[in-house]
Amino acid sequence: MLVVKALHISLVVAWFAGLFYLPRIYVNLAMVPAASVAERERLLLMAGKLYRFMTPLGGLALAFGVWLWLGYGFSGGWLHAKLALVGLLVAYHWHCGVLLRAFRAGTDGRSHVWFRFYNEMPVLVLFAVVFLVVLKPF
């Protein structure tokens, strides 16, 4: 079971790397001048590749998390709270895909400032999840 736990943690770290960086690419996309087509296309290519790379990592992290849940059982309020936050991260990941499609279509009109705030959400969730897992406060 320790191998499963190590794989779960490693996959979560890799998934979070994507969750941290993809919205940062969106900040840059929101700042690209309209005349800078090559820069926009390059950033869209990077964002698309990163999204395609991080999606299976997130899926595998969730799968190993379910394996741990089945192995250790589902007990404690902290785990319920953690799972709610994981659900929030899955929704955030999905929304990143929605935003990518909007950028590709040229329909996203949000400012780089909005994306800077959007970019911080997974950091806050990560802190909360780590504290829940380590401290098991309830």
Domain limits of the chain? 2-135
Return the structure tokens found at 90: 């899955």
* pLDDT for position 76: 85
Question: Over the stretch 89-113, which tens digit does the pLDDT of each residue have?
Answer: 999 999 999 999 999 999 998 999 9
Q: Is the pLDDT of residue 74 over 90?
A: no
Please give the pLDDT value at position 34.
Answer: 86
Nearest 10 degrees: Cα torsion 40, 46, 51, 54: -160
CB burial of residue 138 (10 Å; 0-12, 13-18, 19+): exposed
CA distance 40 to 71: 46
CA distance 34 to 30: 10
Give per-residue pLDDT as tens, 41-65: 999 999 999 999 999 999 999 999 9
Percent of the chain past pLDDT 70, that is, above it, reads: 100
